[in-house]
Amino acid sequence: MGFDKVAHFFVFGLLGTLLFRSLRMEFRAAQRWLLAFAGVMAYAAADETLQFFNPDRSFDPWDWVADGAGALLAIFLYRNWKVYRGILEYKFGRRLAK
């Protein structure tokens, strides 16, 4: 596995988390994660398709797989692991606000 797959995994994982967080809370939990995952996969498919037509870039379907795996894991961790959610929700300027 090349470095680019690792980069795809983490970048699209973060994108999945951000999209999940941005969805309204009115969505039930199952709908919310599924909608976030589908959005990331659609964006990843569009990105890979555009790379196919760019002579300076390369089309690799395994990048799309790495994108999906990263997004799925990150959304799952955000939903179910307080430590990960706490790191992403940490407010750095808390002392400065007083």
Tens of pLDDT, residue by residue over 45-91, are: 999 898 888 888 888 888 899 999 999 999 999 988 889 888 888 87
| Phi, psi of 84, rounded to the nearest 5 degrees | -60, -45
Tens of pLDDT, residue by residue over 22-42, are: 887 766 767 888 999 999 999
Write out the H or E segment, with its range, that includes residue 56.
none
pTM, two decimals, is 0.80
Within 13 Å, how many C-alpha atoms sit on residue 61's CB side?
A: 0
User: How many angstroms separate the CA atoms of 32 and 67, rounded?
Assistant: 18
